[in-house]
Amino acid sequence: MIKAVAKYWGDGVDTYGMPVPYNSYFIVVSPWQNSGAIATIVTLSGIAPTQQNFVVMQGSEAAALSKATEVLDGMHPGLTKRIDQD
């Protein structure tokens, strides 16, 4: 199982010192049936993904994490990102 937190932020700052925009997501990846893996994206703050659960049937857990970050990258073009993985 892979657990990761993905954060995306802009260059602006609000009155509380938080980046604007600021979006944070929790990603959990685990094996799925006989092959592949499933990645679930949970919104912590910001934009909710249009597709929160998706399955990568061919490939590893790392491939599912890569797909999840690809989806999130597409939702936040031009923002700085950081992904912390456990």
pLDDT digits (tens, 9 = 90+) for 50-84: 656 656 666 789 988 998 899 899 989 999 999 99
Taking residues 21-26, what's their average pLDDT? 93
* pTM of the full structure: 0.85
Taken in order 18, 27, 56, 47, the sign of the CA dihedral is: negative
CA–CA separation, 54 and 72 (whole Å) = 13
- Exposure string of 26-42, with b = 16+ CB inside 10 Å and e = fewer, is ebbbeeeeeebbbbebe
> Do residues 69 and 56 touch, judged by C-beta distance below 8 A?
no
Residue 35 lies in a domain: yes
Q: Is the peptide bond before 21 cis (omega within 30 degrees of 0)?
A: yes
Residue 84 lies in a domain: no
Residue 85 lies in a domain: no
Residue 32 structural domain:
2-76
Number of domains making up the chain: 1
Residue 86 lies in a domain: no
